[in-house]
Amino acid sequence: MALKTFHGGVHPPEFKKLTETLIFEVMPAPQEIYIPLNQHLGKEAIASVKKGDSVSIGSILAEADGFISAPIHSPVCGTVTSISKQTTPTGFPQQTIVIKTNEQLENLFMSPLNPKTITPEEIIERVKNAGIVGQGGAAFPTYIKLTPPKDKQIEFVILNGCECEPYLTRDYRFMIERPEAVIEGLTLFLKAMGVVKGYIGIEDNKPEAIKIITRAAENENNIEVFSLKTKYPQGAEKMLVKAITGREVPPGKLPLEVGTVIQNIGTAVAVYDAVVKGEPAVTAALTVTGKGVKNPKNLLVPVGTPIKDVLDYCGGINGDAVKLIVGGPMMGVAQFDLMAPILKATSGILVLTREEVSRGEETACLKCGQCIDVCPLNLMPTKLVRYTQLGRFEDAGLFGITVCMECGTCAYTCPANIPLVQWLRLGKQRVKQIQRQQAGLQN
Ligand code: SF4
Ligand code: SF4
C-alpha cells in the first residue's frame, strides 16, 4: 500500500543519528536566566514582578495581556535583577526579566488534577494558566486552539509526530520515552474540544516510535496512528491534513476550515504534565546537535537559559564550527549572540561546521523550474522572488506570496543557490504591510 503523503517536497539528508538514541538529560539551572515577555504569537505578557523581587519555580512572572497572549512563570528560584531589553533568538531585542538564580528548589506548581475526571472547561483553564504554547514552531497559545470559533465543527485532532526537519530528535525522544503522556495528552485535547477522533502522524523513518506509540494507543479505539512517507515538509500543518484526511486546507486558511486541529507531540506532553503534575511551561525540551558541538544531546532545559550555557553543558563547540541556528536547518533562525535565551518553544540548537553548510556561489536563475516542482503549496517561487526584487508587490500578492509558509523547500532545491526564502520573507512582509495600509490599519 502506498504511504500517505502530499505533492512536492524534498528529501534532505536526515542527520538524526547524532542524537536519536540519546535519552533526555535534565540540565541544571544556570547562574542567570533571561525571560523575554513575548515567547508566543500575540501580545507581549505584562510583567508582574519588579527588580529585587524573590521568585520560586512556577511563580508568575508575567500575566497574559488579552486574548492572544500567555502568562510566563519562573523556571528557577532566585531574585529579579532587571527588566530590560535583551537579545532574543528572533534577532530582535525584547523586554526581558533577568533572574539571578539561587540553590533553592521550592516549587509553586498548581495542584494536580485527575485526567480521568477532569472536565473540558478545567482542561482549557489549566492549559491557559500554565502558559502552554505550541511546540511546533509558531508558539501559538495552546488554549486558543482548544477553543475554536463556534461555527467551526472540528472532527479530528491530529498529533504531529513527523519531526521532518533534519537533525532534530526532540519529538522522537518524547515518543520513545513518554508514549503514555503523548496518548494521554491527545486524549485531553479530544476531551477539551468534544472531538471523537484523534490521529497521530509519524514519518516512516521512525519505525521504533511508530511501534511504541501504536502499542501505547492499542486500547484507545478513537486514536489511530499513521505511518507517513518521509519527506520534507511532511510536518507542515497543511501537508499533514492532506496526507491523513485527504482534505485540502484552502490557501491562506487554517486547518480548522476543514474540521481539523493540529497539535505537536511536545505540546501533548506539556499539557499532560500541566494537568497531572500542575507544571507550568517552565522547561524547554530541545536537541543540541550538529558536527560543530562536542557532545550532542537531547536536553530538558530551564526556559530562559542562555544558548552559551547550553553549549557549555554540551562540552562546547568544535574549532571548525561556523554557524549557529535555533530550530531546524530548514526553518530555523541563524544566531549572532550566544546570550540569546532558550524560549518555551525552542526545539533545537544546531552548531554546523563548514562542511555542513557548504553552498556554492549564487548565480542567475537558470529557469529550470525545480523550485516550482517541489513547492508543496503549488506556488511559483521564482516568479514571486522576481516580483519582490522588482518592487512589484501587487503582482507578488496576486500570485499568492502571502500564502508561502517559508518552509525553505524551494531554496533547498535551487541549483543557482538563490536565497529564495529570504526574498520571499521580504516580499511577504511588504505585501502584508501594503494590504494593512489599504485596509486603513497602521503598519
Ligand atoms: S518557501 Fe514558500 S514558495 Fe518556497 S517551497 Fe515553501 S511554501 Fe513554496
Ligand atoms: S530553482 Fe532556482 S534556478 Fe531553478 S527556476 Fe527556481 S529560482 Fe530559478
Average pLDDT over residues 2-26: 90
Question: What average pLDDT is seen over the chain?
Answer: 94
Least confident window among 144-148, 177-181, 211-215? 144-148
User: What number does the ligand 1 atom closest to the CA of 409 have?
Assistant: 5
Domain co-membership, 232 together with 275: yes
Q: What is the pLDDT of residue 103?
A: 86
Q: What is the pLDDT of residue 142?
A: 96
Do 111 and 255 lie in one domain? The reply is: yes
**Residue 206 — very low, low, confident or very high, per pLDDT cuts 50/70/90?**
very high
Q: What is the pLDDT of residue 96?
A: 97
Q: Of 407, 421, 423, which is best to mutate to test ligand 1, by the most ligand atoms within 8 angstroms of its C-beta? A: 407
Q: Cα dihedral sign for 343, 134, 167, 182? A: positive
Residue pair 236/138 in contact (Cβ under 8 Å)? The answer is no
Please say if the pLDDT value at position 378 is more than 90. yes
Compute the average pLDDT of residues 255-266. Answer: 96
Which ligand has its closest atom nearest to the C-alpha of 376?
1
Q: How far is CA 6 from CA 57, 401, 403, in A?
A: 43, 20, 17
> For 94-108, how does the pLDDT look when each residue is reduced to its tens digit (9 = 90+)?
999 999 999 888 899
424 close to ligand 1 (CB < 6 Angstrom): yes
Query: Given its phi and psi angles, is residue 246 left (phi above 0), alpha (psi -120 to 50 degrees) or beta?
Result: left
- Report residue 191: phi and psi, to 5°: -65, -45
Q: 103, 94 in Cβ contact below 8 A?
A: no
Q: CA 49, CA 60: separation in Å to the nearest integer?
A: 8
Rounded Cα distance between 97 and 47, Å, is: 8
For the segment 71-83, the average pLDDT, to the nearest whole number, is 97
pLDDT tier at 442, thresholds 50, 70, 90: low
Task: Let me know whether 274 and 406 are in one domain.
Answer: no
Cis peptide before 381 (omega within 30 of 0): no
Total Cβ atoms within 10 A of residue 50: 10
Select from 378, 409, 423 the residue to mutate for testing ligand 1; criterion: most ligand atoms less than 8 Å from CB.
409
| Per-residue pLDDT at 116 exceeds 60 | yes
Same structural domain, 247 and 199 = yes
Ligand 2: which residue has its CA nearest to atom 7?
382
> Looking at the 3D structure of the chain, how many domains does it have?
2
pLDDT for 290-337, tens place per residue? 999 999 999 999 999 999 999 999 999 998 999 999 999 999 999 999
Inside any domain, residue 40: no
Q: What CATH number corresponds to the domain at position 290?
A: 3.40.50.11540
Domain membership flag for residue 96: no
69: in domain: no
CB-based pocket (< 6 A), ligand 2: 365-371, 381-382, 414-416, 418
C-alpha cell at 437: 495600509
* Contact (Cβ atoms closer than 8 angstroms) between residue 104 and residue 56: yes
Which among 317, 329, 323 is positioned nearest to 411, based on CA atoms? Answer: 329
Whether residue 443 is predicted with pLDDT greater than 70 in this model: the reply is: no
- Check pLDDT > 70 for residue 390: yes
End residue of a domain, out of 322, 357, 392: 357
| Amino acid 360: pLDDT | 80
CA angle in degrees (0–180, nearest 5) for 362-365-367: 150
- Is residue 52 one of the residues assigned to a domain? no
Task: Decide which of 283 and 437 is more confident.
Answer: 283
Ligand 2 centre from 430 Cα, in Å?
22
Closest-CA residue, ligand 1 atom 3, reads 381
Answer yes or no: is the C-beta of 381 below 6 A from any ligand 1 atom: yes
Is the pLDDT at 271 greater than 70, yes or no?
yes
Residues 158-173: tens digit of each pLDDT: 999 999 999 999 999 9
As a whole-number percent, the residues of the chain with pLDDT over 90 amount to 87
Q: Given ligand 2 and candidates 371, 417, 420, which is best to mutate, with the most ligand atoms within 8 Å of its CB?
A: 371
- In angstroms, the Cα distances linking 358 to 136, 322, 353, 355, 362 are 27, 10, 9, 5, 12
Q: What angle do CA 179, 184, 189 make, to 5 degrees?
A: 130
From atom 8 of ligand 1, which residue's Cα is the shortest distance away?
375
**If you average pLDDT over residues 374-378, what whole number do you get?**
95
285 lies in the same domain as 375: no
Residue 389 has pLDDT above 90, yes or no: yes
Task: Out of 323, 357, 391, pick the residue that ends a domain.
Answer: 357
Given the CA of residue 413, which atom of ligand 2 is nearest to it?
A: 1
Q: Are residues 173 and 113 in the same domain?
A: yes
> Which ligand lies nearest to the CA atom of residue 362 in the structure?
2
Burial category of 67 from C-beta neighbours within 10 Å (exposed 0-12, middle 13-18, buried 19 and up): exposed
Q: Domain range holding 379? A: 370-438
Q: What is the pTM for the complete model shown?
A: 0.93
Does residue 39 fall inside a structural domain? Answer: no
Whether 4 has a pLDDT exceeding 80, the answer reads no
Spatial distance between the Cα atoms of 4 and 384, rounded to a whole number of angstroms = 29
Integer CA distances (angstroms), 67 to 42, 128, 425, in order: 8, 10, 27
Query: How is residue 116 written as a grid cell?
Result: 480521568
